[in-house]
């Protein structure tokens, strides 16, 4: 059996990935910060499917909390094959209107958080010379978005970090890949009006926005043995909006 830790796993793309992994019979650790009730409910759902599952709390911006989270997972599972870095926060607004605290929090969660999680699982994966890490970026990390300069910057950093870490860890048989979703129907995009969503759907070659399950499918593929010769890659489930 494989075991996975999914940060930001209580909702959206992370929760969809957890459900898909569980259907494949993988043990799941749901990482969350504030949404304990949602995480616990999801764990119950996983256990009802007959797979080991637990909820673990941490602010990924805090390295000490992440160390503790990973220690708890390893104490429970004794093994960790897959890390999915799905935790993230967004900010929409003119760059002139974002203050220093907001800027730092975006980078602390979206960039530092990925590094903290990778750094914490690596001693275990390096010892076993095996592992798969999947980071979650955004199509805005590839091309940038007006009024989302700070968010785009963090997601671009995630892509660069993924590519560099893949080169570093490849000799140890640890793969590192990235999923860069387009517009997905999640809480993070709840600020978009129906009119905005319709415009984005019209601009998308496939004529619609995506679902969390479609993004999760890309994550699951990269995490699986089916992608055993893929590392340092970015898969972008975005309906063709960014090519």
Which residues participate in catalysis according to the annotation? 151
Query: How far, in Å, CA of 108 to CA of 131, rounded?
Result: 25
Closest CA to 115 of 2, 16, 7: 7
Bin 184: left if φ > 0, else alpha if -120 < ψ < 50, else beta: beta
Distance CA 208, CA 212 (A): 13
Residue 48 buriedness (CB in 10 A; 0-12 / 13-18 / 19+):
exposed
Distance (Å, whole) CA 137 – CA 180: 5
- Does residue 98 contact residue 47 with C-beta atoms inside 8 Å? no
Pairing of strands 82-85, 53-57: unpaired
Phi, psi for residue 171 in degrees, rounded to 5: -60, -20
Q: Distance (Å, rounded) from C-alpha 212 to C-alpha 234?
A: 17
Tell me if 90 sits within 8 A of 140, measured CB to CB: no
Instruction: Provide the b/e sequence for 203-215 (b: ≥16 CB within 10 Å).
Output: ebeeeebbebebb
DSSP SS3 for 28: strand
């Amino acid at each position: 059996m494989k075991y996975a830790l999914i940060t930001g796993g209580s909702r959206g793309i992370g929760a969809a990935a957890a459900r898909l992994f569980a259907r494949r019979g993988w043990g799941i650790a749901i990482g969350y910060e504030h949404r304990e009730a949602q995480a616990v409910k999801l764990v119950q759902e996983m256990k009802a499917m007959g797979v080991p599952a637990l909820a673990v709390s941490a602010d990924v911006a805090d390295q000490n909390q992440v160390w503790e989270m990973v220690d708890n997972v390893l104490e429970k599972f004794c093994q960790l094959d897959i890390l999915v870095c799905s935790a993230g926060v967004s900010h929409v607004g003119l760059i002139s209107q974002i203050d220093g605290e907001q800027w730092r929090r975006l980078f602390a969660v979206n960039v530092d958080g990925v590094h903290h999680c990778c750094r914490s699982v690596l001693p275990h994966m390096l010892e076993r010379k095996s592992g798969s890490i999947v980071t979650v970026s955004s199509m805005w990390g590839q091309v940038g978005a007006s009024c989302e300069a700070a968010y785009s910057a963090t997601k671009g950093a995630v892509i660069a970090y993924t590519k560099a870490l893949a080169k570093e860890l490849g000799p140890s048989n640890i793969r590192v890949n990235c999923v860069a979703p387009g517009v997905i129907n999640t809480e993070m995009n709840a600020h978009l009006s129906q009119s905005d969503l319709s415009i984005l759907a019209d601009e998308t070659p496939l004529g619609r926005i995506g679902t969390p399950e479609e993004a999760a499918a890309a994550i699951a593929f990269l995490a699986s043995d089916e992608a055993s010769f893929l590392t340092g890659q970015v898969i972008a489930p975005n309906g063709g909006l960014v090519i």
